Structure 1
Amino acid sequence: MLKNLHRLFMAHPEAVNETYFEHFGVASRYGSRFLFMSFCAFTHAVFPFLFERTASNMVKAMYADMTRRGANTAVASQNPQTPAAEWGWL
C-alpha cells in the first residue's frame, strides 16, 4: 500500500530529477502562470487591443523553461514507473 502511494506521488518528480517539493513549486508556478494567461486571453477576446501578445509570449517562455529543465512528457512517458504513462494520462 505505502509503496503504491509512494509511486503515485514520486514517480513523475523522480523521472524529471526533482524532489516532491521542488516539483510542487515548479508546477505551482506554472499553474499560476496559466491562470494569468487565461485571464489575459479572455480579456483579449473581449478587448482585442489589450494583452495582444501576453499569453503567446508567456507560453514561449514556459516552453523554453521546460525544455531547458528537461521536464517534458517524453521523459515521463519513457519511464515505466510513471502512473500517468501506465494509465494513458499523457
Structure 2
Amino acid sequence: MANPFTRHPSEVGESYAQHLATAAGFGATMVVGGLCVMIHAVLPFLFEQTGSKTMCKLHKKMTSRTDKANWERHPII
C-alpha cells in the first residue's frame, strides 16, 4: 500500500518536505489575499488590485510547475 504522505508529492515530482513548503506557501498567500479582499469589501478604496494580483501570481506559479498533461491527471494541491 502506498504511503499517503508521499504518494501525491511523488506524483508531482516533489519530496514530502518540498510539497509541504510549497503547499503551505500557497495556503498562506491565499489567506493573506483573502483577508485583503475581505477588507476591500468593506473599505473599497483599500487593496483595489490585491485579490486579482494574488490570484494571477498563484495561477502562474502553479501552472508553471508541471506539464499540462500531468496537471490534468494530478492537481498540485
Q: Deviations over 1:19-65 (max 9, x none)?
A: 00000000000010011011101000000010011011011011101
Equivalent pairs counted in the alignment come to 73
Q: Which runs of 5+ in 2 are unaligned?
A: none
Equivalent-residue separation in structure 2 for 1:73 and 1:51 (angstroms): 31
Residue type at the aligned position of 2:73: V
Matched, 1:49 2:48: no
CA contact 1:44–1:51 (8 Å) conserved in 2: yes
What is the deviation of 1:73? 4.7
User: Rg bigger for which structure?
Assistant: 1
Greater relative contact order (Cα < 8 A, sep 6+): 1
Q: What amino acid does structure 2 have at the position aligned with 1:43?
A: I
TM-score (norm 2): 0.84
Unpaired runs of at least 5, structure 1: 78-90
More helix, by proportion: 1
Shift of 1:75: 3.2
The normalised TM-score by structure 1 is 0.73
